[in-house]
Structure 1
Amino acid sequence: MQDDRKSRDTNAPASPARRKLLLGAGAGAMAAAGGMVPQGAAALSNDSVTNAPESGTTQDRQPFYGLHQPGIVTPRPAAGMVASFDILSRDRAELEQLLRTLTDRIAFLMQGGRAPELDPKFPPPDSGILGPEIIPDNLTVTAALGASLFDDRFGLKPLKPLRLSRMQGSPNDALEKDLCHGDLLLQFSSNTPDTNIHALRDIVKNAPGQLLLRWKQEGSVPVQPPEKVKESARNFLGFRDGSANPDPADEALMNRIVWVQPDSDEPAWAAHGSYQVARIIRNFVERWDRTPLQEQEAIIGRKKASGAPFDGRTEADVPDYAADPEGKVTPLDAHIRLANRRDADAEKHLMLRRPFNYSNGISKSGQLEMGLLFIAFQADLEKGFITVQKRLDGEPLEEYIKPIGGGFFFALPGVRNEKDFLGRALLEASGPQNARKA
């Protein structure tokens, strides 16, 4: 029998192929054990299932400073989230400190940068979920105040925006107490859910003892190839959501519809802010999916595939209700016809909608818990959302939807520069206990 001791000699140098195999096996064993591959070791395989997904948009940035807050007329990215808080600040000084902290953190997170390093004996200053280099990832954070903040705690009661109120339930609502209202609403939007979550955790960490998270809802919208013709994103009913939305690039239109103007009847500090509505609207998708297509389209008032009105060919076409007074083309109780009558007063009731779809697992009855995170901005809450919602009360679509949470808020004016901070004008306007000048 041939002597094969040499081939099994452990002291013999390994072949290049064997060295590569051993290195790969060692790295794999470390990964399986939850270890970290040391610097200089072999890189991960190009086709590893655990590799981080790649994207060319992680360095996208939106400006933070300006007349208005970002995240309102800013183009909507794929991932969104709203988080509502009760403010626990004990006095005006602590409230100002909180608003300054919010300003500083949002400004940093939207631009990105390297996370600070501290003595490892202390908790790390960052959660680390994005790594040591925090990417901006197209993030915007928008801060809005609820009616409950304008009470006697901080002397803000006389300065409450005139049309800001606690959201009342409509006839079809089934509002859950734990999913409604709040002193402060933060809206996060970015390219990925992890960026929103990172920003939320950063803010909570940096405001200890001042914020109590009341409720939150995450959402998303489907992404389309950049070369495709622009269209509104689809909701979980399969229809395009956002058709006939006012053009956010039209500054004059936004001044009429979205932004509170300096010469309005609102408190002077509120100029350049906006009323924000957030509604968590559950969709009964199982029932909807068993409804005939022609009935679905009649309920909405649009063709499902194209998004066009019944008397049009494209989503952008405007329905002619004057030529259809009896509703033979577009039913009189169709959602789009009730929401926007297309008459001489239509512009007074327009809102800038910025919704996301949400999916929260399954309900106790075993149904899919999903729907629409409805978000809208307007200069006049009463002429905007409240008027339109009253028109929609009793519509056929109610059989398939159930609002369960949300609230009314006022999005603060923008932060003008690095010396300014969120809510400064409000605090300075509140009398003898003036905030320190920025």
Structure 2
Amino acid sequence: MTLGRRAFLRGAAAAGAGAGLVGLSGSATAARGAVPFHGSRQTAVLAEPARHSVVAAFDVVAENRAELTDLLKQLTARARFLTSGGAPASVGITGPPADSGVLGPEVPEGQLSVLVGAGASLFDDRYGLAARKPPKLKQMPTFPDDALDPQWCHGDLSLVLNAAEPDTVLHALRDIARSTRGGMQLRWKIDGFTSPPRPAGTPRNLLGFKDGTANPGPSEADSLVWTDDGGSYQVVRLIRMLVEFWDRVSLSEQENMIGRRRDTGAPLDGAAEQDVPRYAEDPIGTVIPLTSHIRLANPRTPQTDGQRILRRAVNYDRGVDSNGNLDMGLVFTCYQRDLEQQFEAVQKRLAGEPLTDYVSPFGGGYFHLFPGVTDPADHYGRALLG
């Protein structure tokens, strides 16, 4: 790294730390729906998706381990300030503003949540971290029904931003990208959104079906979500939905492919969204087909109970492709203790399901969420870096 770039990164870290203290000096009462920043785990994992989000991956360009440490300290300082809120640091009249001003003169308190993870590529020979790679972390493979675009895959670091308003997540992304420019560069990013539940219950995806009904509850997080170090394995899958073809399929065929009613979200053998499918009473799939998505994803047997994942999915809309087709779909993320025993076990059961004719995964990656930032002196990756 050149002296100028090194000075930029170190100077930004110092400024970011000061800005974070400004945010912490405000009210100790979090805004409604706020996710606490400090803690032994990144508990934003357990929060329901907000109305707007950004999911992004970065390539780290820091030249050595010391500069990587500076980068993670700076990333922590910005995340702490952006989630806590407050007035940006004053830089005088000669320098560029410390903040874009998109949210006004002060960053609102408790409006944003942040998740940060590390990809397998961070543990190559650049920073001497190979021996410290989380034991289950690897690069996301290509599955049989994928059409992966390398430009939309993998990354050294992952970043998930969630907020109620789109300007909040875009403000945060700009802030982080500017403050960390000397240490990491954006590899890919996609904007996501969720819809209000219509009617009550779980929000819908762009196929029109409720998405995330059978997630494990908070009491199951220790056995299904969190790793022993307080992290979690994160899967990101960018899935295009071929909605113009889907919209030509009969409703009964759509429901058989999913295994649920489109209007209520109830399983095909139930009356309400939260009803548990009675697979044992339907062994040959007369009511809920054996090839339906919900039956393959979660057969509800003692053998597959530990394979469940915490799903967090949002919709995306990228406009129109070069052939004039709508480019929209799902930004699927999930969290678990073990990639192979949970996500990949589910993915293998879903291979070749009827729904694959209407969806096309094109990007994403595997990451390991850092343990939480415990206090103002802590930072992402501190235990990893020693």
TM above 0.5? yes
Q: Which has the higher contact order (CA 8 A, sep 6+)?
A: 2
Per the alignment, residue 403 of structure 1 pairs with 361
- In the TM superposition, residue 203 of structure 1 has moved relative to its aligned partner by 0.9
Per the alignment, residue 110 of structure 1 pairs with 83
Match among 224, 238, 241 for residue 208 of structure 2: 238
- In the TM superposition, residue 128 of structure 1 has moved relative to its aligned partner by 1.1
- In the TM superposition, residue 224 of structure 1 has moved relative to its aligned partner by 4.3
Deviation track 1:106-130 (CA, whole Å, cap 9, x = no partner) reads 1110011112232332211111111
Per the alignment, residue 232 of structure 2 pairs with 274
Q: How has the CA–CA distance of structure 1 residues 290 and 186 changed in structure 2, closer, same or farther, with 3 Å as cutoff?
A: same
- In the TM superposition, residue 335 of structure 1 has moved relative to its aligned partner by 0.4
Partners of 1:319 and 1:60 in 2: CA distance = 32
2:256 maps to 1:256: no
- In the TM superposition, residue 322 of structure 1 has moved relative to its aligned partner by 1.0
- In the TM superposition, residue 136 of structure 1 has moved relative to its aligned partner by 3.3
Per the alignment, residue 178 of structure 1 pairs with 151
Partners of 1:346 and 1:390 in 2: CA distance = 13
Q: How has the CA–CA distance of structure 1 residues 388 and 425 changed in structure 2, closer, same or farther, with 3 Å as cutoff?
A: same
Match among 324, 327, 333 for residue 375 of structure 1: 333
Partners of 2:271 and 2:197 in 1: CA distance = 21
In the alignment, is the contact (CA less than 8 A) between 2:35 and 2:110 conserved in 1? Answer: no
Match among 349, 353, 356 for residue 391 of structure 1: 349
Per the alignment, residue 123 of structure 1 pairs with 96
Q: How has the CA–CA distance of structure 1 residues 59 and 199 changed in structure 2, closer, same or farther, with 3 Å as cutoff?
A: farther
In the alignment, is the contact (CA less than 8 A) between 1:89 and 1:95 conserved in 2? Answer: yes
- 2:301 aligned partner, one-letter code: D
In the alignment, is the contact (CA less than 8 A) between 1:235 and 1:372 conserved in 2? Answer: yes
Matches within 5 A, 1:321-340: 321-340=279-298
Deviation track 1:293-323 (CA, whole Å, cap 9, x = no partner) reads 0000000000000000111111111111111
- In the TM superposition, residue 59 of structure 1 has moved relative to its aligned partner by 6.7
Matches within 5 A, 1:87-98: 87-98=60-71
SS at match of 1:245: coil
In the alignment, is the contact (CA less than 8 A) between 2:49 and 2:314 conserved in 1? Answer: no
- In the TM superposition, residue 426 of structure 1 has moved relative to its aligned partner by 0.7
Match among 264, 268, 271 for residue 310 of structure 1: 268
SS at match of 1:374: strand
Partners of 2:150 and 2:89 in 1: CA distance = 39
- In the TM superposition, residue 138 of structure 1 has moved relative to its aligned partner by 2.7
Structure 2's unaligned 5+ residue stretches are: 1-29
- 2:43 aligned partner, one-letter code: P
- In the TM superposition, residue 384 of structure 1 has moved relative to its aligned partner by 1.2
Per the alignment, residue 426 of structure 1 pairs with 384
In the alignment, is the contact (CA less than 8 A) between 2:197 and 2:204 conserved in 1? Answer: no
Partners of 1:103 and 1:127 in 2: CA distance = 19
Matches within 5 A, 1:68-107: 68-107=41-80
TM-score (norm: length of structure 2): 0.90
- 2:70 aligned partner, one-letter code: Q
- 1:80 aligned partner, one-letter code: S
Structure possessing the higher radius of gyration over alpha carbons = 1
Q: How has the CA–CA distance of structure 1 residues 59 and 130 changed in structure 2, closer, same or farther, with 3 Å as cutoff?
A: farther
Partners of 2:284 and 2:181 in 1: CA distance = 59
- 2:222 aligned partner, one-letter code: N
Per the alignment, residue 6 of structure 1 pairs with none
- In the TM superposition, residue 88 of structure 1 has moved relative to its aligned partner by 0.6
Deviation track 1:367-395 (CA, whole Å, cap 9, x = no partner) reads 11000000100011111111111110100
Structure 1's unaligned 5+ residue stretches are: 1-56, 262-270, 429-438
Match among 240, 252, 256 for residue 298 of structure 1: 256
- In the TM superposition, residue 71 of structure 1 has moved relative to its aligned partner by 2.0
Deviation track 1:93-113 (CA, whole Å, cap 9, x = no partner) reads 111111111111111100111
TM-score (norm: length of structure 1): 0.79
Q: How has the CA–CA distance of structure 1 residues 137 and 287 changed in structure 2, closer, same or farther, with 3 Å as cutoff?
A: farther
2:243 maps to 1:285: yes
Partners of 1:196 and 1:76 in 2: CA distance = 13
In the alignment, is the contact (CA less than 8 A) between 1:257 and 1:347 conserved in 2? Answer: no
SS at match of 1:83: strand
Deviation track 1:42-99 (CA, whole Å, cap 9, x = no partner) reads xxxxxxxxxxxxxxx9875321000111320123211111110000111111111111
- 1:404 aligned partner, one-letter code: F
- In the TM superposition, residue 137 of structure 1 has moved relative to its aligned partner by 5.2
- 1:259 aligned partner, one-letter code: W
- 1:392 aligned partner, one-letter code: L
Q: How has the CA–CA distance of structure 1 residues 145 and 64 changed in structure 2, closer, same or farther, with 3 Å as cutoff?
A: same
Partners of 2:216 and 2:75 in 1: CA distance = 30
- 1:260 aligned partner, one-letter code: T
Per the alignment, residue 163 of structure 2 pairs with 190
- In the TM superposition, residue 208 of structure 1 has moved relative to its aligned partner by 2.5
The structure with the largest helix share of the pair is 2
Count of residue pairs the alignment pairs up:
357
Match among 343, 346, 349 for residue 304 of structure 2: 346
- 1:244 aligned partner, one-letter code: A
SS at match of 2:45: coil
Per the alignment, residue 23 of structure 2 pairs with none
In the alignment, is the contact (CA less than 8 A) between 2:38 and 2:373 conserved in 1? Answer: yes
Deviation track 1:5-48 (CA, whole Å, cap 9, x = no partner) reads xxxxxxxxxxxxxxxxxxxxxxxxxxxxxxxxxxxxxxxxxxxx
Deviation track 1:152-174 (CA, whole Å, cap 9, x = no partner) reads 11111011112111111111111
